[in-house]
Structure 1
Amino acid sequence: MVIGVSGPVDIDLLECDFGNAPIPSTNAFPLVSHFINGLIKRGHHVVVYTNSGELTEPTVIRSKQVTLCICPTKPQPGRRFFKFEREQLEAIIRQNPSDVIYAYWTYEYAWAAIESGIPTVVSVHDNAFKILLNQPDMFRLVRYLMNVVVLHKAQWLVANSAYTFRNLSASSKKKAVVINNFFSPHLGQLIPEGTPKENYITSVVNGFTKRKGIPKALHAFARLREKFPELEYHLLGVDMEPGGAAQQYAQQHNLQEGVRFLGPASQAELMQHMAKAKVLLHPSVEESFGMAVLESMLAHTPVVGGKRSGFVPYLLNHGDAGVLCDVTSAAAMATAVEKLLLDRELSGQVAKKANAFAKANFSEEVVINKHLDIFKSILNIGNTYPPMLAKEKAEGYLFNT
């Protein structure tokens, strides 16, 4: 089976050899790369459809099992509803077809794949309407409208969590199943055996927005510093770099003391940093899944997350695999983190339960095999059930809540 994957791909994480071919920087999301690697390990050829702001012309780069199809992008795509990007992607898909396409997110990558005419399964990874409510600007309005178009056009949907599924419309639910995000086995290899904890807590967040919750988290840490004057708070991700939006906010509100603004990092750096942290504070008020939470669970670092933050309560097994609190309250977050800092036995127990829960429920083997079942049923390969049509089977994919 030749499987297409349309989405933001971290090419550096792909387990294949492109020789000396120059590889442009792309919009990158590690989970997509891990999914591709999982398909490669199972013997499938993968055609990757992605884009880069460094190109002026489309380019195709080939290895033994992977064909990279990379299209150019232009500045300010939201003003054009990503029309240029969609047209470029659709053209390169038609020129380099696959048997079936798995498209990430309900935006330009999925829209282009659907328009190519190749059977496309769309992976729903967020709630565009809730994001718009939390970030009411023109770009998010455009993304929401694109999401509406894609959900209408798509024949097959995969929601990345039960929470995402529940937020779909009734018509979209009829053509959707739930398959959770997963972790790649190699993540555990990124953490040195017996990594000692250092005197800091951390947050891994992309975007300084109300939805991501960093402003409240900075206020929470200021409260913690009053009781733990040597404790540090390390911020990683987009907008968390020195001079970035998070630091500017901290300066304006006199919240810089003890905070290190580290910015984006490689996945290896993130995993090692999380493994050394005493607590991962995840202040996001809404998450369709929460990959940083899952990665922290694998890194044996206890998590404080929102008790009403989308899928986070389910990911933390309703508080058995983490500490849940009201992340709209700086005081509540500070109290939850303090609880783990003061009680080492509790912290160790939470981290142990979280690691076991993550491995039992979000392994690559289970998740990728579910995707392959769907692809085979769409292409009528083998004696598989049609999961998009069989209600009882679809419900079987739901996270056990």
Structure 2
Amino acid sequence: MHIGIVGPISFADIAYLLPDASERAAKEMQGSSLLISLIDELLNLGYQVSAFTTEPGLDPNAAEFVLTRHGQFSLYQVPLRRKGFRSDRGLHGRMLDLFALERRCLLKAIQASGVDILHAHWTYEFAWAAQNSNIPVLITCHDAPWQILRLMPDLYRLGRLLMAHRVLMRAQYLSAVSPYIVEKISWMHRASMAVIPNPLPADLFTAAAAEKKEIIIGMIINNWSRLKNAAVGMTALSALKQIRPDISVHLYGPGMGQGEAAWQWAEEHDCLDSFDFFGAQPYQAIKDAIKNFTILLHPSLEESFGMTLAEAMAVGVPVVAGKNSGAVPWVVEEAGILVDVQSADEVLKALLYLLSDKEKYQYCADAGLKRARNCFSVQAVTKQYIEQYKKIAGFK
């Protein structure tokens, strides 16, 4: 079975699978680490895999796609316009035509690949292009577009909602990464839907017993926005530093580097010295960092799953996260303390509690590791996906 994975993939994260990559391969895309874990496991099981992704580093006026291949793995990169509405390299923004150029290029790449089954991630341009190929497709829903629009109301998210609505109304086979997503998008489709969580890479679990040499509170966010709620988290962490100056606070993710949004916020609030700003990092660097955390603070207001939470659980790191933040309570269960993350005082109290109660801390660490192994390991998740592929594509 030749499996096609359609979704956002960073060349930097997957370069180890393509040692003979040509100079034509572009390397700007910020991708999803969970797709790398899935691809890795499928290859380990002996399947042929082709991956399809958009890439802003490619000229949208030039090649329809760039193919890089090694062994059983092929990567197809297609151009991605950098702007949502404004002009980019002589072309109008991608949302003005609902990613028509990107979808057309993805379709060309898919048609050239010879895959038997497509697995499209997110309900937007990747799934739309996969549906247009007339190849059997499983679409994995990673978010609830209406909830995102409600929390981040703008024209771009409205466009994304329209795209998702079209995709979901045509969908035959769906999976969702949490029961929360099943509930939130039930009105948008008529297809059958399986709940299959996001996969964690196998190498994370080998770091679970890592000895903590210092007390580090980590916060990893995907962007500086109201949805990710980093300002409230930083307010609580700054207060924690006043009480426990021996603790280090490490900030990771886009907007969390020196001179970026988090840095500017800390400068305005006179607490720059409270934080170490690491910013966006490759996935391997993030995995290496998490295993040294003492606690992960995850202040997001809404998560469809929460990969960072599961990654922390896999290395025995308790979490403080939102009790009303979408799928977060389902993912975390007993692996940490759930609070109202809109309250910096509640966040601070939870952090102090975990730091002061060794029994509670160890209980959360053990519970998180057990849940991550049983439910989120790449082996367990990939097995479920393969069952779906065979059913959809008619393989035995």
* TM-score (structure 2 length as normaliser): 0.91
Measured in 2, the distance between the counterparts of 1:372 and 1:230 equals 48
Per-residue deviation, residues 247-294 of structure 1 (Å, max 9, x unmatched): 222222334231122101122221222222221001011110010001
1:219 matches 2:235: yes
- Indicate if the aligned counterparts of 1:197 and 1:277 stay in contact, CA closer than 8 A: no
Aligned to 1:381: 395
1:175 is aligned with what amino acid?
S
Aligned to 1:35: 38
Per-residue deviation, residues 215-262 of structure 1 (Å, max 9, x unmatched): 111111122123112323211011111111122222223342311221
- Indicate if the aligned counterparts of 2:320 and 2:337 stay in contact, CA closer than 8 A: yes
Aligned to 1:394: none
Match of 2:26 among 24, 27, 33: 24
Per-residue deviation, residues 336-358 of structure 1 (Å, max 9, x unmatched): 00101112332122112211121
1:328 is aligned with what amino acid?
Q
Aligned to 2:70: 63
Match of 1:366 among 362, 377, 380: 380
Aligned to 1:392: none
1:331 matches 2:345: yes
Q: CA deviation at 1:200?
A: 2.4
**What SS does the aligned partner of 2:75 have?**
strand
Measured in 2, the distance between the counterparts of 1:364 and 1:162 equals 19
Gaps of 5+ in 2: 84-93
Q: CA deviation at 1:36?
A: 0.8
**What SS does the aligned partner of 2:291 have?**
helix
Measured in 2, the distance between the counterparts of 1:222 and 1:18 equals 44
Q: CA deviation at 1:12?
A: 4.0
Q: CA deviation at 1:68?
A: 1.3
RMSD: 1.7
Q: CA deviation at 1:20?
A: 4.6
What pairs up with 1:2-401 in 2 under 5 angstroms?
2-14=2-14, 16-22=17-23, 23-25=25-27, 26-56=29-59, 57=63, 58-76=65-83, 77-170=94-187, 172=189, 174-189=191-206, 191=207, 194-317=210-333, 320-382=334-396
2:264 is aligned with what amino acid?
Q
**What SS does the aligned partner of 1:286 have?**
coil
Shift in alpha-carbon separation, 1:278–1:193, aligned structure 2, 3 A = closer
Q: CA deviation at 1:140?
A: 1.3
1:306 is aligned with what amino acid?
G
Measured in 2, the distance between the counterparts of 1:160 and 1:282 equals 18
Q: CA deviation at 1:28?
A: 1.3
Per-residue deviation, residues 90-113 of structure 1 (Å, max 9, x unmatched): 121112231110001011111111
Per-residue deviation, residues 316-347 of structure 1 (Å, max 9, x unmatched): 12xx2211111111100000001011123321
- Indicate if the aligned counterparts of 1:13 and 1:34 stay in contact, CA closer than 8 A: no
Measured in 2, the distance between the counterparts of 1:232 and 1:64 equals 44
- Indicate if the aligned counterparts of 1:11 and 1:33 stay in contact, CA closer than 8 A: no
Q: CA deviation at 1:18?
A: 4.1
**What SS does the aligned partner of 1:168 have?**
helix
Measured in 2, the distance between the counterparts of 1:17 and 1:268 equals 17
- Indicate if the aligned counterparts of 1:197 and 1:275 stay in contact, CA closer than 8 A: no
- Indicate if the aligned counterparts of 1:60 and 1:67 stay in contact, CA closer than 8 A: yes
* TM-score (structure 1 length as normaliser): 0.90
Measured in 1, the distance between the counterparts of 2:154 and 2:188 equals 27
Shift in alpha-carbon separation, 1:47–1:236, aligned structure 2, 3 A = same
- Indicate if the aligned counterparts of 2:197 and 2:376 stay in contact, CA closer than 8 A: yes
Shift in alpha-carbon separation, 1:3–1:247, aligned structure 2, 3 A = same
Per-residue deviation, residues 85-138 of structure 1 (Å, max 9, x unmatched): 111111211122311100010111111111111111111001111111111112
Q: Which moved more, 1:202-211 or 1:230-239?
A: 230-239
Q: CA deviation at 1:193?
A: 5.4
Gaps of 5+ in 1: 383-401
- Indicate if the aligned counterparts of 1:18 and 1:61 stay in contact, CA closer than 8 A: no
Q: CA deviation at 1:298?
A: 1.3
**What SS does the aligned partner of 2:189 have?**
helix
**What SS does the aligned partner of 2:138 have?**
strand
Measured in 1, the distance between the counterparts of 2:198 and 2:246 equals 36
Measured in 1, the distance between the counterparts of 2:375 and 2:145 equals 26
Q: Provide runs of 4+ in structure 1 moved above 4 Å.
A: none
Measured in 2, the distance between the counterparts of 1:370 and 1:126 equals 20
